[in-house]
Amino acid sequence: AACDRGDRMRAEDAVLRGDPRRGAALVRAYGCGGCHAIPGVTGANGRVGPSLVGLAGRTTLAGRIPNTPSNLVRWIQHPQAVSPGTIMPEMGVADADARDLAAFLLTQR
């Protein structure tokens, strides 16, 4: 079982392949801090959505799906498909941008 988990994690890493530095800039570009508090991002002190402090250590995303890199990418791109009616809007986030955003957010321990 431990080997299976390791294989899955390597596969998840391969799916992500994002750039956390670029993701930090994209957090500002997409205006994520207007709704979320995000450490290390100037002005990201929103209170509409949940704080993203410690996101990497959470077990679920949106209270519905396991917190994995691929699920985070999917949530960033299509929150309404993951949780219909959620307050998080569809932002039209491109694949590469979603991977970079996820890579940055997964640095939030």
Please give the average per-residue pLDDT across 95-100, as a whole number. 95
Confidence (pTM): 0.86
In sequence order, what E strands does 1-109 have? 60-61, 65-66
d(CA 54, CA 45): 15
Neighbours of 29 (CB within 10 A): 11
C-alpha closest to that of 97 among 67, 72, 62: 72
Span 50-96, pLDDT tens digits: 999 999 999 999 999 999 999 999 999 999 999 999 999 999 999 99
pLDDT band at residue 107, thresholds of 50, 70 and 90?
Answer: confident
Residues paired with residue 66 on neighbouring β-strands, in sequence order: 60
d(CA 98, CA 16): 9
Q: Answer with the residue of higher pLDDT: 56 or 16.
A: 56
pLDDT at 31 over 60: yes
Q: Which residues contact 75 (CB under 8 A, 6 or more apart)?
A: 61, 62, 65, 82, 88
pLDDT of residue 5: 55
pLDDT at 15 over 70: no
